[in-house]
Amino acid sequence: AQTVTQSQPEMSVQEAETVTLSCTYDTSESDYYLFWYKQPPSRQMILVIRQEAYKQQNATENRFSVNFQKAAKSFSLKISDSQLGDAAMYFCAYRRKGAQKLVFGQGTRLTINP
């Protein structure tokens, strides 16, 4: 069975600084998708960024980028120029190609210090 591990229950960063959230996963599949979701306090969870395993190039979305290391099964999220609005719970997730269900990690609570 696939598993996703986020080893950092909480992280904090100074506003305007850069922070990296860690995620590792375990799978025997070769084709899959990886995601980072963000859930602000009392709000809906939204997709931040996605990576397709067959693509070697790391995905980027404005200030958000990933470091995808397929051999190491690592998928970290880097947030540059952190803003107060980035404060949220961040979940790493995996989905096997052809499947529908997402497999999530435990989440990392990110605090932005002004």
Partner 1 sequence: EAGVTQFPSHSVIEKGQTVTLRCDPISGHDNLYWYRRVMGKEIKFLLHFVKESKQDESGMPNNRFLAERTGGTYSTLKVQPAELEDSGVYFCASSHLFPIQEGRRNEQFFGPGTRLTVL
| Interaction site with partner 1 (CB under 8 A) | 4, 9, 35, 37, 42-47, 50, 91, 93, 100-107
Which residue, 50 or 70, is less far from partner 1 as judged by CB?
50
CB of 73 to partner 1, least distance (A): 16
CB of 79 to partner 1, least distance (A): 20
- Residue 86 in 3-state DSSP? helix
Which residue, 77 or 82, is less far from partner 1 as judged by CB?
77
Structure token digits, residue 46: 């939204």
Which residue, 28 or 100, is less far from partner 1 as judged by CB?
100
Structure token digits, residue 94: 């995996």
- 10-14 vs 108-113, strand pairing mode: parallel
Contact 107, 6 (CB under 8 A): yes
